[in-house]
Structure 1
Amino acid sequence: LIDKKTAVRLLQAQESAGGILDPNLSVFLPKDTAIKRNLLDQDLSRSLSQNPECFLDPDSERNTSYGTLKKKCKKDPLSDLILLPIAERKDSSKLMFDGVCKSVSAQQLLECGILDKPTFDQLMKGEKTVTEISVDKKDVLKGTEPIAGLSVGPLGKMSLSEAKKKLLIPPDIADLLLEAQAATGHIIDPMSNKKLTVEEACTRGVVDKGDKDKLLAAEAAAVGFKDRRTGQSLSVFEAMKKELIDKKTAVRLLQAQESAGGILDPNLSVFLPKDTA
């Protein structure tokens, strides 16, 4: 009716609570008496004597015996019940990290492999904070930065748009570098060191409003291309398969992303290594 492993686990719980429980007498009996009453045999008795680890510690999630768990318990003074203390666990779906363009939960980071299980468990138990892990995972969560602007001799640093206006670089080169910025999540204003959406950059005059449409198209590589039929957000690869962009454009945008940290998942808003992508 039950296997030996289950029997040992149930009997271990009984023994830790007072002895082997006789279901007919409804009392706990010592092992030798239980053997005489055919409630236990020598084989099961030996198995119990070895104190097998039949249970899981909810804190460490490691195998342990029932007796070891009981030793960790504390008696409630009001009810006299013994209670097993555990560390407070947090809701992994509500522990949020700041991704490239939006927040991403600890649970999502675990599922995509950015957080390993030990780190995730430390976060859940409060042994590590979101801030600490964010520092460790900065390249994944924020990237390693694209080309932000130009350094123009004695003129110092300059935005790509400004250099384009002053004809310091060919317009087509400036456009490609700006598209690379947008594809990695933000337009960068090197003068204020601020990261902006394409809309914000146009409003603040960081980029020319005439470039808005093509930069929004490049920004879709970071925030997702919209599937006109379903309304879902598509990655660069998915957009290419649906012929929303051509392969040459896809490769250029993905190359910019990879150089800035990895392939940007528009749904998670994090950079992923190619094998994960």
Structure 2
Amino acid sequence: MARCVTDPSTGLCLLPLKSKGRKINIDDNMREMFQKTKVTVKYGRFKGRHTTLWDLINSEYLSEEKRQEFFKRFKSRKITIEELTIIIIEIIESKEIKQQEELNFTGLRGEISIVDLLDLQIVDEKIYKSLIDGKMSSTDVMKIDSVRAYLQGTSCVAGLILQPSNKKISIYEAQKIGILTPGTALCLLEAQAATGFIIDPLKNKKLTVEESLRENWKEKLLSAERAVTGYKDPYTGNTISLFQALKKDLIVKDHGIRLLEAQIATGGIIDPVHSHRVPVQVAYQRGYFDEEMNQILSDPDDDTKGFFDPNTKENLTYLQLIERCITDPATKLVLKSTTTNKAGGKYKGATVSIWDLLYSKYITEEKRRELVKQYKSGTITIERFLEILLTIIEQQTTTTTTTTTTTTTITTTSEDKTLKGIRKDVTVSELLESKIIDEKLFKDLNAGNVTVAEVSEMNSVRKYLQGTNSIAGVYLQSTKETLSIYEAKKQNLLTPGTSLILLEAQAATGFVIDPVKNKKLSVEEAAAQGVIGGEWKEKLLSAERAVTGYKDPYTGNTISLFQALKKDLIVKDHGIRLLEAQIATGGIIDPVHSHRVPVQVAYQRGYFDEEMNQILSDPDDDTKGFFDPNTKENLTYLQLIERSFICSILASVFIKSFSSLLHFSRF
């Protein structure tokens, strides 16, 4: 009581508490100002995206304390919105630069971040998280065979070995002494340049063309080296890949095919912008490859076998030539010359060679053969070889010495949890990658702190998985009767054209809706149950592909509505109408992963672009693809939804259905 104060107005005793900081009230005007302030960030997860100051100030880069401080300073007019934007960008970029310095990897001619490796599917979410959380180091990741293959490539034809003397010589030296023709030697050196570096097999060095300079071939090899560093598009000035240069006729077709085949044979197609190789699927997406080229290289004939075996005089592919090579015998001596003092067991404290460890009692014959095979093929480095041996020996000796005390550690691994998407299940990893859930929620889900059902019901998640309200049917005000779109057409309340457009919008945003029975149906199901007529089935199946995906006739890949629109697979006006309906009902649909995606993710995945955003942000009568039967106006789908209402009967029984009905007056 002695610590209380007396309220002067009531005389009551009140215990004073130190405030933990009052949250600043954000009014609508302030929020709108922040949301309208467009921001460009050079680093981090906002890099290259269309974002706002509101997104940044509410991101994980700022602590709650710092966020409230900024709100308070802005509200009291101690800082302008421009100054605040600069400060927040500096905070984000400084944090990201520091992290990227620690998490960059060496590519062919530059560095690449772990974020890019994740985006390119070179590392998976598990490896990415382990690195971010500090459970793995950059060195650990580089030791992963699949990662190293894309960053550094695999083996190429490095030089020649003369039999029976076993003398090693470089390709250029072989040409000088007349063992290889100038043409064959140049082809082999071009393949080296086009796959990363010129190789000096005597000194075991990788060199750029400038470093390995041979004046008479300098220009030709510099040209081939551009398959690694990139070609310049004469029309745009952009750096483009070998295949793109080939398609634009910047290099001779036979020459380009030869270099491209060499890249694929030695680890994968090279992305010259990011300075590493990419998986074939990513190469397709980025336009570094196509189905026609895949067919040429998959079924080579003499015209596309660009390399020559000087022994047999055969035309071969680069891969066939590599298969006829042998691993330099001298490199096997490395197994005896490479030593360590870190081994356990009987070797503890002693300096021993890899050879000794390999043939010790700790390594089985099967494992020995496997490791030697991997090392000979170049799949593992000598450092990785040693690390594997040390790990095996450590496991063996730990097992032997822990006979008296046994400690059991139970590690639970669970499959990636899934949520119900539009037409199939969606993994929580995909939701994280698509920015639908954040890292904290992802971890809570995997830890069991929150259930799949609870996450599915979150508004921010449900709108991407199931969408928001589309126009489900027609509501007759005079009779308070609910009709399906097709039934309204049958009763001549809607014209066939208006009815078809509304049903196409339903099909393109997820399902055809039966508002009377509150059912969501596929087009096939709707036709079978009489919710639509058979005369419209094919048209609606076409619209439904905006959900299930269109087939790219060139690659066979599943592509989105917008991508189909850009490839002229659908009529422009029709495509814009369906795309606008998707956006109005929750977001652009990713047909591969069967859910809607935030706008910035849609930009990244090529499901949207700035031109289309402009068309839909500022619609005119040409792009207002829907019709109000009451007022006879052309409207956007969003405007038409705004004139609809949520059916109270359906909403009271099925509170989660959000079925909107179009007002209609019977005259």
SS of residue in 1 equivalent to 2:530: coil
Within 2, Cα distance between the matches of 1:79 and 1:146?
A: 67
Q: How big is each residue's C-alpha offset from its partner over 1:180-217, in whole Å with a ceiling of 9 and x where there is no partner?
A: 00000100001111100001101111001000111011
> Which position in structure 1 is the counterpart of 2:414?
90
Contact 1:104-1:268 within 8 A present in 2 as well: yes
Q: Corresponding residue for 1:116?
A: 438
Identical positions, percent: 42
Match of residue 243 from structure 1:
568
**Equivalent residue in structure 2 for 1:143, among 462, 467, 470:** 467
CA shift for structure 1 position 271:
1.3
Residue 193 (1) aligns with residue 193 (2): no
Indicate whether 1:273 and 2:598 are aligned. Answer: yes
Contact 2:435 2:598 in 1 (8 A): no
Describe the superposition over 1:235-273 as per-residue Cα deviations: whole angstroms up to 9, x where unpaired.
011101221112222211111111110111111111112
Indicate the SS of the match to 2:475: strand
Deviations 1:65-114 (A, max 9, x none): xxxxxxxxxxxxx963456677x44222xx11100111111111112211
Q: In structure 2, what is the equivalent of residue 160 of structure 1? A: 485
Query: Which residue does 1:127 correspond to in 2?
Result: 449
> 1:261 is aligned with what amino acid?
G
Amino acid at match of 1:106: V
Cα–Cα, structure 1 residues 157 and 79, in superposed 2: closer, same or farther, change >3 Å? Answer: farther
Which amino acid in 1 is paired with 2:584? S
Unaligned runs of 5+ in 2: 1-347, 350-402, 603-667
| Partner SS state of residue 504, structure 2 | helix
Residues 46-61 of structure 1: pairs in structure 2 closer than 5 A: none
Q: Counterpart of 1:189 in structure 2: which amino acid? A: D
The amino acid of 2:510's aligned partner reads G
- Inter-CA distance 90–180: structure 2 relative to 1 (3 Å threshold): same
CA–CA separation in structure 2 for the residues paired with 1:231 and 1:196: 27
| Contact 1:189/1:196, CA 8 A, preserved across alignment | yes
> Which residue in 2 is equivalent to 1:11?
none
Q: How far is 1:231 from its partner?
A: 3.0
Alignment of 1:27-38 (within 5 A): none
DSSP-derived class of the 1:104 partner: strand
- Over 3 Å counting, the alpha-carbon distance change for 1:102 and 1:83 in structure 2 is same
Corresponding position: 1:222 with 2:544: no
Distance 2:404 2:424 in 1: 47
- Following the alignment from structure 2 to structure 1, what is the Cα–Cα distance between the partners of residues 431 and 580? 23
Equivalent pair of 1:91/1:124 in contact (CA under 8 Å): no
Q: How far has the Cα of 1:132 moved from its partner? A: 0.8
Matched residues in 2 for 1:116 and 1:79: separation? 45
Does the Cα contact within 8 Å between 2:588 and 2:599 map onto a contact in 1? yes
Q: Give the whole-Å Cα distance in 2 for the aligned partners of 1:157 and 1:210.
A: 23
User: Which residue identity is paired with 1:147?
Assistant: I
Structure 1 position 106 matched with structure 2 position 428: yes
**Helix, strand or coil: the match of 2:435?**
coil
Given the two structures, how large is their TM-score scaled by the length of structure 2? 0.29
* Alignment correspondent of 2:530: 205
Kindly provide the amino acid, as one letter, of the partner of residue 536 in structure 2: D
SS of aligned partner of 1:149: strand
Q: Which amino acid aligns with 1:210?
A: E
Match of 1:231 in 2: 556
Q: Specify the alignment match of 1:258 in structure 2.
A: 583
**How many angstroms apart in 1 are the aligned matches of 2:491 and 2:570?**
31
Q: TM-score, normalization: structure 1? A: 0.68
> 2: CA distance between counterparts of 1:120 and 1:83?
28
Once residues 559 and 538 of structure 2 are traced to their aligned partners in structure 1, the CA distance between those partners, rounded to angstroms, is 18
Which secondary structure does the structure 2 equivalent of 1:150 belong to? strand
Contact between 1:183 and 1:253, CA under 8 Å: does it hold in 2?
Answer: yes
Counterpart amino acid of residue 272 in structure 1:
V
Matched, 1:80 2:405: yes
Contact map agreement 1:186 1:195 (CA 8 A) in 2: yes
Deviations 1:32-86 (A, max 9, x none): xxxxxxxxxxxxxxxxxxxxxxxxxxxxxxxxxxxxxxxxxxxxxx963456677
- How much has 1:229 moved relative to structure 2? 3.9
3-state secondary structure, aligned to 2:501: helix
Aligned mates of 1:155, 1:133 — CA distance in 2:
36
Report the 3-state secondary structure (helix = DSSP H, G, I; strand = E; otherwise coil) of the residue aligned with 1:268. coil
User: How far is 1:228 from its partner?
Assistant: 3.1
Secondary structure of the corresponding residue to residue 169 of structure 1: coil
1:230 deviates by 3.4
- Out of 156-165 and 222-231, give the one that drifted further: 222-231
Query: Is this contact kept in 2: 1:90–1:125, CA < 8 A?
Result: no
1:188 is paired with a residue whose SS is: strand
* C-alpha distance in structure 2 between counterparts of 1:247 and 1:208, whole Å: 26
Shift of 1:160: 0.2
Q: Label 1:177 to 1:109 Cα distance change in 2 as closer, same or farther (>3 A).
A: same
> Do the aligned partners of residues 111 and 264 (structure 1) sit closer, same or farther apart at CA in structure 2, a change above 3 Å counting?
same
Q: How far apart in 2 are the matches of 1:80 and 1:259?
A: 64
